[in-house]
Amino acid sequence: MTLGAALLSCTALGLQHGIDWDHVAAISDVTSVQRTPREAIRCGFFYAAGHAATVGLLGIAVIMLRQSLPDVLSVWMQRFIGLTLVLLGAYVLSVLFSRGQMVGRGQAFAAILHGRAEAGAAYSRKSSLSLGVLHGIGAETPTQLSMLMIAANVSRVQSGLLVLGVFAAAMVASNMVLTTTATGIFAISKPRPALFRLLGAGVAGYSMWIGIVLMDS
């Protein structure tokens, strides 16, 4: 594959990766519990930055060593993420329909640890960054794996790094479009409790479904 074709392919893969199922679930959750649209967009950016940084480090390792993550580690990380998505998605649904109040996985995780959900709790920028890092390690989707394969097989190390950078930049751009869209949808729906609960239930159900997929993969 020529360098031009590799760059074009990884740009398309990066744009697609930014709207992969794990990104949609995570960013929908992060943006749904923020107090202001500005903070939601900032946290979405920190998620994207954490994910891009992790993919970058993995990509550098693949390019330099010509090897991917050990299969055993990748499988168990995916199962761990899947389990947390299922448990926390189930908790979100229970709170949503028992109390009529939408909470995100950040609040649900705190509730599991402490036996209660903190009122008004939301993802911080640090927790959004950490979530992006975790997903970068544990969810090697077809788009990410395809990029790593292309980066590892271009002729020169410098070309591989350039391909990796293009993928990461396209992924962040796609993530920010997704973040802005999700933020706008939740901002419009919050004054309408019935619509907000419906969207919340959809986000929780989607997260549980993604968790099951990850656990079975």
In tens, the pLDDT along 4-62 reads: 888 999 999 999 888 887 788 788 877 876 778 888 899 899 999 999 998 888 888 87
Cα diameter, the chain:
58
Residue-level pLDDT at 196: 72
Written as six digits, the tokens of 26 are 């995570």
Q: pTM for this structure?
A: 0.72
Residue-level pLDDT at 139: 56
Residues contacting residue 49 through CB under 8 Å, at least 6 positions apart: 129, 132, 172
Q: Is 81 a residue whose pLDDT tops 50? A: yes
| C-beta of residue 1 within 8 angstroms of C-beta of residue 158 | no
Q: Name the more confident of 44 and 107.
A: 44
Chain-centroid distance, C-alpha 190: 23
Written as six digits, the tokens of 33 are 């519990």
Q: Name the more confident of 111 and 92.
A: 92
Helix, strand or coil, per DSSP, at residue 34: coil
Helix, strand or coil, per DSSP, at residue 139: coil
Residues 152-207: tens digit of each pLDDT? 777 788 888 898 999 999 999 999 999 999 888 888 877 777 777 787 778 778 77
Parent domain of 208: 3-216
Residues 53-74: tens digit of each pLDDT? 988 888 888 777 765 556 665 6
141 DSSP assignment: -
Q: How many domains does the chain have?
A: 1
| Whole-number Å distance between alpha carbons of 142 and 129 | 22
Burial of 156 (0-12, 13-18, 19+ CB in 10 A): exposed
pLDDT grade, residue 208 (50/70/90)?
confident
